[in-house]
Structure 1
Amino acid sequence: MEALIEEYGRGYNMLREAIEGLTEEEVRFKPAPDKWSIHQILIHVTDSEILSTHRLKKVLAEEEPLLISFDQRAWVDNLAYDLLDRDQYLQLFQMLRCSMQTILETLTCDQYERVGVYADAGRFTFKELLEYRVEHVRDHLAQIERVRAAYKQA
């Protein structure tokens, strides 16, 4: 669990490093009309973190709470992601991750096994939800690299 918590804590720095030195044109580049720009990816990662931090806390605080999924495509399409302040969102991501660190560092083995239930996806332990948060950042870092590569070839 230590390695998982450590990587979770590095999420913000990993995102910052992935965009270091990029121009605004690179960050706003969309590889295709239905693909996200790096800017949109970063806003999405933070919006997802807002909801996921809430879910993680619900699982720790409540008995088998109902967890709600969200339509990420609708959020990108309908919440003016292109107009949102990327740096502000990255700071929010950092604050959310920092706010969870103390909680994570004090959890017992039993707490890692607490369960939340998605109506559309079933039961997940706190540990599984935390693993997904780490994987979510990894997946979007890989997506950022694909967009960077597509920009270079455009």
Structure 2
Amino acid sequence: MEELIKEYALGYTMLREAIEGLSEEELRYKPAPDKWSIHQILIHVTDSEISSTSRLKKVLAEDEPILISFDQDAWANNLGYDLLDREQHFLLFKFLRSSMQPILDQLTSEQSRRVGVYVDQARFTFKQLLEYRVQHIRDHLDQIERVKNAYQENQTY
């Protein structure tokens, strides 16, 4: 659990390093009409963090709370991600992660086994939900690399 918490704490730094030195053109580049730009990925990561921080807290505070996901495509398509301030969202992500740190630093093994229940009756422990948060950042770091590579390939033509 200790390694998981450490990686969770590094999420902001890892994302920041992944975009360091990129131009606005690179950040806004979409590899295909139905694919997200790095800018949109970062807005999504923050929106996802808003939702997941609430879920994590519910699992620790309430007895087997009902957990609700959000429709990421609807949010991306209907909330004007291209118009949103990336730095504001990025700082919000940082603050959300850091706000969880004192809670995670005091986490007991009993708390890590607390359960939340999604509306489809899928049950997840706090530890599983935290693992998902860490994997979510890993997945989007990979996606950012794919977009960066696609941008570079596009520039050679």
Identity of aligned residues (%): 73
Alignment match, 2:81: 81
Alignment of 1:38-57 (within 5 A): 38-57=38-57
Counterpart check, 1:98 vs 2:98: yes
Number of the residue aligned with 2:134: 134
What is the aligned length? 154
SS at match of 1:145: helix
- Aligned partner of 1:16 in structure 2 is 16
- Cα displacement (A) at 1:121: 6.0
Using the TM superposition, give the Cα deviation of residue 119 of structure 1 relative to its aligned residue in structure 2, in angstroms: 1.4
* Structure 2 Cα separation of the partners of residues 143 and 20 of structure 1: 15
Deviation at 1:98, TM superposition (A): 0.3
Structure 1 residue 147 corresponds to structure 2 residue 147: yes
Deviation at 1:69, TM superposition (A): 1.0
Which amino acid in the other structure matches residue 46 of structure 2? Answer: T
State the Cα distance separating 1:120 from its structure 2 match.
2.9
The alignment's C-alpha RMSD in Å is: 0.7
What is the CA deviation profile of residues 53-112 of structure 1, one whole-angstrom value per residue up to 9, with x for unaligned ones?
000000000000000011100000000000000011010000000000000010111000
Q: TM-score, length-normalised on structure 1?
A: 0.99
Measured in 1, the distance between the counterparts of 2:114 and 2:121 equals 16
The one-letter amino acid paired with 1:27 is L
Match of 1:30 in 2: 30
Alpha-carbon displacement from aligned partner over 1:33-66 (angstroms, at most 9, x marks no partner): 0000000000000000000000000000000000
- Misfit runs of 4+, over 6 Å: none
Unaligned stretches of 5+ residues in structure 2: none
Letter in 1 for 2:75: W
TM-score by length of 2: 0.97
| CA–CA separation in structure 1 for the residues paired with 2:120 and 2:27 | 33
